[in-house]
A = this chain, B = another copy of it.
Amino acid sequence: MDDMFTLNAYLDEKRRLVNAAIDQFFNLKPPVNRVVEAMQYSLSAGGKRLRPILLLSAAEAVGGECTPEVVRAACALEMIHTYSLIHDDLPAMDNDRLRRGKPTCHIQYDEATAILAGDALLTLAFEILSCPENMETCGIANHLKVIRIISEAAGYKGMVGGQMLDMINQGKFITTEKLKEMHSMKTGALIRASVVSGAVLGGGSEARIEALDLFGQFIGIAFQVIDDILDVEGDPKLMGKAAGCDAAKNKNTYPALMGLDLSRQFAAELVQNALQALRDFDRHAIPLREIANYVINRKK
């Protein structure tokens, strides 16, 4: 990490690291059948890889390194994120036909294959996190801790519970408090878990892990607020989907509840709080600080 830190180069490098590791999981095991093809299709649809990168940056922030072991754990997060997108896109859920500019998994294949590909990606994440070649330096106890952190964040107390609330609340008026609760579960929990997992695998102290936990909570909500804003005013070409999708589905969003200006202000405050949580960190936390700024300034 030198003084000439540029975020784009950093993100590119980490994205390459993650993508190469994801490819390896499938190279080692020749495709069994259609479900593996669908898993790869959705994984390679070109996401930002935000969650794995957050894990890597958090590990670096506490002085850890991006060893193959840590990179593999980062990949597990991308698999969980991708599974959640596949299932959320299903006709019974958000019924989306496009994702990142490509046909969604059930459009490219079929519904049964998409359900199974999601199931298999979620399961593969835990296989990767418990893989023996994964335990070299971080320690077995830390790996088990990470499995717990991630499974709690992904389950009914977190991501799945949040998606359920989202479905139930569609078309209903809810308070800003309820919206925050829903999003802290649906999107926030896994983003927070990414940061905390990185801190644990990087060998951070309890105090450091707590500070990064706080950082993750603020960034997680900020990410969703900006997501909602981009859905209203984002460039469809950059987004890979039409604008106004949420409004068309009567979704509860921050702009719908508090207006665009207040939403932007709220996101800025969240990022300030996130940066404040990192005040005692040294230059190893530069990437994480820059990512916090990127979350709020991103165009897609």
Could you list which residues of chain A lie within 8 angstroms of chain B, going by C-beta atoms?
A: 29, 32-36, 39, 83, 87, 90, 92-93, 110-113, 115-116, 118-120, 122-124, 126-127, 129-132, 135, 140-141, 143-145, 147-148, 151-152, 154-157, 160-161, 163-165, 167-168
- Chain B residues, Cβ within 8 Å of A144: 130, 135, 140, 143-144
8 shortest A-B CB distances, which residue pairs? A92-B111, A123-B155, A127-B151, A130-B147, A130-B148, A120-B156, A35-B164, A126-B151
Give A124 to B159 CA distance when docked, in angstroms. 12
Main secondary structure of the interface of A (DSSP, over half): helix
Contact call B161/A120, Cβ cutoff below 8 A: yes
Q: Report B-chain residues with C-beta under 8 Å of the C-beta of A35.
A: 156, 160-161, 164
How far does the Cβ of A33 sit from chain B's closest Cβ, in whole Å?
Answer: 5
The residue on B at minimum CB distance from A165 is B33
Find out whether the CB atom of B119 lies under 8 angstroms from the CB atom of A161: no
Expressed in whole angstroms, the Cα–Cα distance for A218 and B168 within the complex equals 45
Would A151 and B132 count as touching, CB distance under 8 A? no
Contact B39 A156 (CB under 8 A): yes
> What are 27 contact pairs spanning A and B, CB under 8 A?
A29-B157, A32-B157, A33-B164, A33-B168, A35-B160, A35-B161, A87-B115, A90-B112, A90-B115, A92-B111, A93-B112, A113-B167, A116-B164, A120-B160, A123-B154, A123-B156, A123-B160, A126-B126, A126-B151, A127-B152, A127-B155, A130-B144, A130-B147, A130-B148, A135-B144, A140-B141, A143-B144
Identify 13 new A-B residue pairs, CB closer than 8 A, beyond the known A115-B115, A120-B160.
A32-B164, A34-B168, A87-B115, A92-B110, A112-B167, A120-B155, A120-B156, A126-B151, A127-B155, A129-B147, A130-B151, A140-B140, A140-B141
Of the listed residues A33, A126, A129, the one surrounded by the most CB atoms of chain B closer than 10 A to its CB is A126
Tell me how far the C-beta of A184 lies from the nearest C-beta in chain B, rounded to whole angstroms: 13
From the candidates B29, B39, B115, B141, name the one contacting A92 in the complex (CB within 8 A): B115
Check A160 against B116 for contact (C-beta < 8 Å). Answer: yes
| Contact between B112 and A92, CB atoms less than 8 A apart | yes
Whole-angstrom distance between the alpha carbons of A269 and B93 in the complex?
A: 46
Contact A122 to B120, CB < 8 A, known contacts A93-B112, A112-B93, A148-B130:
no
Please name all residues of chain B whose beta carbon is closer than 8 Å to the beta carbon of A147 when the two chains form the complex.
Answer: 126, 129-130, 147
* Cβ A119 vs Cβ B120 within 8 A: no
Which residue of B is nearest A157, CB measured? Answer: B32
CB neighbours of A120 from chain B (8 A) = 155-156, 160-161
User: B116 touching A119 by the CB < 8 A rule?
Assistant: no
Instruction: Determine the distance from Cα of A206 to Cα of B164 in the docked complex, in whole angstroms.
Output: 44
Task: Specify which chain B residues have a CB less than 8 angstroms from the CB of A126 in the assembled complex.
Answer: 126, 147, 151
